[in-house]
Amino acid sequence: MIPDPAEFTRYDSVWRRAEPFMRARKNDIHIPLSFGWAARLLDVYPDADRDICLLAILLHDIGWYSIDLERIVNEGFRSDNPLQSDVRFLHELEGVRLGTDVLCDTGWSDDVISSVCEIIDGHDTRPHPKSLNDRIVRDADKLWRFDVTGITVASDWFGMTPHAYADKLAGEFDKLETDYGRAWARDALEKSIKSLFLHVL
Ligand SMILES: [Fe+2]
Ligand SMILES: [Fe+2]
């Protein structure tokens, strides 16, 4: 199910203000797809805060804009411990800095800005989520990779074949935070494996 963008016009000014930062590392593919997953998760976890989760997923990776693509790929994806690499911490810090500017310029309150930035800061590097909102954003950040588009894009980041990357994803269901997230990841990966003929390729 793809969310209808017309339902989310509330965030149009944020998308427009953040648009230049989306033109890095395929953020302009990852972010809209993960935004859609966040919207789906919010429908089944109504206790989470919609504004905080949707703004956090929209802005969580804009900090990659400040880092050279070769460094992103070599250190942030293909190194020994990529989730604890310097560039991972740097993209979180830059995400907080740029995200604060975007949210100030588009009129959000100090409370919203601090809650969103609390999620962005450490979204890849902190071992544990701090709240339900944080868990929703973490799952939305991961779920897009289980679809064909995510496998297409992220297998390149990791320098892997689609088959090898799908095998890696099959070992990562436990990294999802919510029951729905885990179920949807399994379902999406199963469909992707069939679509991409990964039983032979
Ligand atoms: Fe990230
Ligand atoms: Fe991300």
Summarised one tens digit per residue, pLDDT across range 68-105 is: 999 989 988 999 899 899 999 999 999 999 999 999 99
Ligand lying closest to the C-alpha of residue 76: 1
In a domain, 61, yes or no: yes
Q: How far is the CA of 6 from the centre of ligand 2 (A)?
A: 23
Q: How far is the CA of 27 from the centre of ligand 2 (A)?
A: 8
pLDDT at site 187: 98
In a domain, 201, yes or no: no
Among residues 172, 185, 191, 192, the alpha carbon closest in space to that of 41 is found at: 185
Query: Per-residue pLDDT tens for 114-156?
Result: 999 999 999 999 999 999 999 999 999 999 999 999 999 999 9
In a domain, 161, yes or no: yes
Ligand lying closest to the C-alpha of residue 77: 1
In a domain, 132, yes or no: yes
pLDDT at site 1: 65
What is the rounded CA–CA span in Å between residue 27 and residue 29? 5
Q: How far is the CA of 110 from the centre of ligand 2 (A)?
A: 24
Handedness of CA 45, 35, 85, 153 (dihedral sign): positive
Neighbours of ion ligand 1 (CB under 5 A): 61, 124
pTM over cut 0.85: yes
* pLDDT (average), residues 30-36: 97
The CATH number of whichever domain residue 93 belongs to comes to 1.10.3210.10
Q: How far is the CA of 183 from the centre of ligand 2 (A)?
A: 20
In a domain, 78, yes or no: yes
Ligand lying closest to the C-alpha of residue 138: 2
Domain tally, the chain: 1
Q: How far is the CA of 60 from the centre of ligand 2 (A)?
A: 6
In a domain, 153, yes or no: yes
Range of the domain at 12: 5-195
In a domain, 44, yes or no: yes
pLDDT at 183 over 90: yes
In a domain, 200, yes or no: no
Q: How far is the CA of 47 from the centre of ligand 2 (A)?
A: 23
